[in-house]
Structure 1
Amino acid sequence: MELREVLAALRAGWWLPLIGLVVGGAAALIVSLLQAPLYTSSTQLFVSTRDTASTSEAFQGSQFSQQRVTSYARLITGEELAQRVIDRLGLEVSPGELSARITATAMSNTVLIDVTVTDESPERTQRIADAVGAEFTEFAAELETPDGADVSPVKVTVTDGAEVASAPSSPQTTRNVALGLLVGLLVGAGLAILRVRMDRTVKDPDEVVQLTGVPVIGTVLRDDALEKRHVVDRNSTTRTAEDYRQLRTNLQFLNVDQPPKVIMVTSALPSEGKTTAVVNLGLALADAGRTVTIVEADLRKPKVTRYLGIVGGVGLTNVLAGTAEVEDVVQRYGPSGLSVIASGPTPPNPGELLASSNMHAFLEKLRSGNDFVLVDAPPLLPVADSTGLAVYMDGVLLSVRYGSTRKEQLQQAAVSLERVGAKTLGVILNIVPARAELASAYGYGYGYGYGSEPEGGTKGGKRRA
């Protein structure tokens, strides 16, 4: 995963690191506040040998002491010494519990042993540490004194006495909260990246090329008003209106020498914006002076006539069945050069009807009288209607819903078209959120209405300073 993709993932899921930061810091703070404060007191022991008259004896005694300190450190944390401390101080704990509170560290290449005691009471901690030093001095002398001798050759001396701790050593609330914030931030960032890695929906134009072999020729921003009325205000300069004008321009320049005239618009699955794309692309082409006919070929769930508010009684199926002529079912829409042919009555065999020779002859007749024929076809994956129809087309446009269409679905749709020899012209990436990285890349962050302000100032005639 490249750095650019990581940054994009963090931007898309910025709220996950934020939540992780808050949760991690709060959890660390709560845990720290719930912990009982612990105090630490330390003492230091010095191990030496007696009767070192010469330098060589002193050196040998030093080596002997260094060999002893590691064993002594283990003895200090043992239950035998803990029992002696308990008896000395009259503590009401078991030897195992007390030994767990004592740590001893043998300093490397020295004859020093650092002893640390941790307890909930600072005064008791100091008394235990002092008792450990005193008891171990006697305990070591007992162990090292040979049989028949009165004095041990090894001497253990307390060099640093224990002091009463002025502040608890645990919990370290500030450190814990800082670590909690850091861990929460990293976990949140990891989840944000994992969320993108696990996301199998189509969001990247480069992925579209890899999956289909064709480019994205149009990107349409999410528009709540368009989702309700389905038709763009053609006189407006909103971002969505500009998106369809840009799609119109890209479509016209796909092949300058032999531009496609009969074009099918379909999708992998329903609810991916194909009918809205057909309607508004047709209007945009008509506004540019082109003669356009939209054919409502989604015979199972026709929506074009409903979106445009025109009659849907007779139409395509009547022409294909031979009960009506093309001229009888064509409906003009508005003052521009846009015509619509409704789907007509729902037949029992939509797939066979759309793949029939009558359908081919019908499209050829429309080709001769129009600059563009846009066919709103059924989705490719749920039914086989569109694959039989696609062979009669100059090209196919695939409508893909940003963040909804899955990669494998898009790839399967492209393969189904390739299998029948249909030519896929490109992909329309629909319903792109304004906050998406793709929207920013296309300059949508500059807002709607670019160039729409009347010359000479703003509303009310006031000029900008």
Structure 2
Amino acid sequence: MDLRQVLTALRSGWWLLVVGMLSGGAAGLGGSLLQTPVYESSTQFFVSSTESASTSDAYQGSQFSQERVESYVRLLTGDELAGRIVAGLALDMEPDELVQRISATAASNTVLIDVSVTDSSAGQAQRLAEAVGQEFPRLVTELETPDGGGRSPVKVTVTERPEEPVTPVSPRPRRNAALGLAIGLLAGIGLAITRARLDRTVKDPHETAELVGAPVIGAVVRDDDLKRRHVADRRGNSRTAEDYRQLRTNLQFLKVDAPPRVIMVSSAMPSEGKTTAVVNLALALAAAGQRVTAVDADLRQPEVTTYLGLSGGVGLTNVLAGTADVDDVKQLYVERLSVIAAGPTPPNPGEMLASSNMARLIEKLRKTNDYVIIDVPPILPVADAIGLAPKVDGVLLSVRYGSTRKDQLQQAAATLSRVGATTLGAILNILPPQDEVATAYGYGYGAERGRVEDPRDGAVPQRTFWRVKSSSRHARPRRMFATEQEG
């Protein structure tokens, strides 16, 4: 993954970062609160030589003391001293258990030894440290006194007496909570990136263009009202209505000299927004003064007339079967937009769409319309659309954001290519409104959600779409710009 993909993954999986941080912080804080507090009391010893009559003796004694310090550190954490303390204080523990609570360190090139003793009780920690301060000098004296009697050459003095600790040294709730937050954040980042790598659905216009081998010419945001009604509110200037107007405009940039007039709209799999795209694209074209006929050629699950509230009894199959004329089955929905229903479901829908009668019907509609928009079944589940695809000027593929799988989209595009069909582009449907892609395609909706500018006021909406070079199917998409002036 490159940096852009990583940032996209983090944006789409931001909630994983939040959950990770909250979980890590809660775990660190909760673990701290459940732990038994541990208190620490410290003392310090100074090791010196008793033979210091002259300067030379003092120097040699200092060297002698430094050599002894490392050995004394081990004595402080040994069983002999621990056993004496346990016996002296009548503790209910074994010497080796006490050893685990005593730590000793010696500063380099000095004769100082720092000793710390820990316990769950602040008072007990101080008593244990005091016992170490009493017993350790005695132990050193016994060990260093010559067998024949005399004075020990080493003297151990307590230079810092232990005090009763006020606050525990462990646990540290703030530190543990901060550490938990950091670990949780890293875990969330890892999960977000892993989730993105495992996600095989289409979300990126760059990748969509590469998979289809044609530009992404439009993006339609998720709209709950459109989901219920299937028809965008054309009287207002909603974001969804503007998305379809922009899709209409971008069609002109595909083939400027010979723009496509008979357009088939399909998808890789069902429920990817193709019929909604057909209805609203046809309405957008009609609103711009174009004569449009929308044909419901999804003979297995026709929905165009259902979405528009028209009759679906007689339609395309009657015309292809020769039992009705095209003018008899046309239904006027609004000015300049006619609709041809699917008609009765035939036993052989694929053969009917690939028939010569269908080709003649297309040519007849071409002569009387500026645009013919045809809704067909999805490409992968059934072969109905494959026979019709070469007969039209081009195909638009409806791609559902976060639902259409990459392999499915690539397979659908390859199927169209094998039969010689022209793939005009892709429509990225049902984008989350706050997604980066929706923002890139949007006009006037990101900064002021409550206010929408009317393009007829003189503003020129600028949009982006992504296209690939015609010389290579999998070439890197280039970012293009389209502008629309509503008149």
- The answer to whether 1:30 aligns with 2:30 is yes
| Aligned position for 1:51 | 51
Deviations 1:190-244 (A, max 9, x none): 4445444443322221221222222211111222111111122333222211111
1-structure distance, mates of 2:406, 2:64: 73
Residue 28 of structure 1 aligns to which amino acid in structure 2? G
1:107-146 CA-to-partner distances (Å, cap 9, x unmatched) read: 2222222110011222221121121132222323333445
In structure 1, the residue corresponding to 2:117 is in which secondary structure? strand
**Which region of structure 1 is more displaced relative to structure 2, 36-45 or 403-412?**
403-412
Deviations 1:238-267 (A, max 9, x none): 221111111111113321211111111011
Indicate if the aligned counterparts of 2:51 and 2:61 stay in contact, CA closer than 8 A.
no
Residues 21, 185 of structure 2: 8 Å contact kept: yes
Partner residue in 2 for 1:109: 109
For structure 1, which segment, 226-235 or 57-66, has the greater mean C-alpha deviation from structure 2 after superposition?
57-66
Partner amino acid, structure 1, of 2:345: T
CA–CA distance in structure 1, aligned partners of residues 337 and 154 of structure 2: 109
For 1:202, the equivalent position in structure 2 comes to: 202
Partner of 1:435: 434
Tell whether 2:343 aligns with 1:341.
Answer: no
The equivalent of 1:372 in structure 2 is 371
* Counterpart position of 1:396: 395
Other-structure match for 1:351: 350
Supply the distance in 2 between the matched residues of 1:392 and 1:8 (Cα, whole angstroms): 39
Q: 1:283 to 1:54 in 2, by over 3 A?
A: same
Equivalent residue for 1:423? 422
Q: Which residue matches 1:158?
A: 158
Aligned to 1:211: 211
Find the aligned partners of 2:395 and 2:238 in 1 and give their Cα distance.
27
Instruction: Tell me the equivalent position of 1:363.
Output: 362
Give the partner amino acid of 1:411.
Answer: Q
Q: Distance between the aligned counterparts of 1:244 and 1:116, measured in 2? A: 75
8 A contact 1:27–1:180 mirrored in 2: yes
Alpha carbons 1:312, 1:342 under 8 Å: kept: yes
Q: Which structure 2 residue ranges, 5 or more long, are not aligned?
A: 458-487
Where in structure 1 do 4 or more consecutive aligned residues deviate above 6 Å? none
| Aligned counterparts of 1:202 and 1:56: Cα–Cα separation in 2 | 85
Question: 2: CA distance between counterparts of 1:115 and 1:330?
Answer: 98
Identity of aligned residues (%): 65
Note if contact 2:122-2:164 (Cα within 8 Å) is conserved in structure 1: yes
Worse-matched range after superposition: 63-72 or 423-432 = 63-72
| Equivalent position amino acid for 1:83 in 2 | G
Assess, with a 3 A threshold, how the Cα gap between structure 1 residues 448 and 51 changes in structure 2: closer, same or farther.
closer
- Structure 2 matches for 1:195-344, cutoff 5 A? 195-334=195-334, 336-344=335-343
Deviates more, 1:122-131 or 1:269-278: 122-131
Which among 430, 447, 450 is matched to residue 449 of structure 2?
Answer: 447
**Partner Cα separation in structure 2 for residue 67 and residue 114 of structure 1:** 16
- The match for 2:460 is none
Looking at structure 2, the residues matched to 71 and 422 of structure 1 have their Cα atoms a distance apart, in angstroms, of: 88
After superposition, the Cα gap between the structure-2 partners of 1:107 and 1:447, relative to the gap in structure 1 and judged at 3 Å, is same
Aligned length: 454
Secondary structure of the residue that 2:379 maps to in structure 1? coil
CA RMSD of aligned residues (A): 2.7
TM-score, structure 1 length as denominator? 0.88
In the TM superposition, 1:15-164 aligns within 5 A as 15-52=15-52, 58-164=58-164
Q: Distance in 1 between matches of 2:149 and 2:419?
A: 105
Distance in 2 between the 1:268 and 1:64 partners?
87
Contact 2:395/2:424 (CA < 8 Å) preserved in 1? Answer: yes
Unaligned runs of 5+ in 1: 456-465
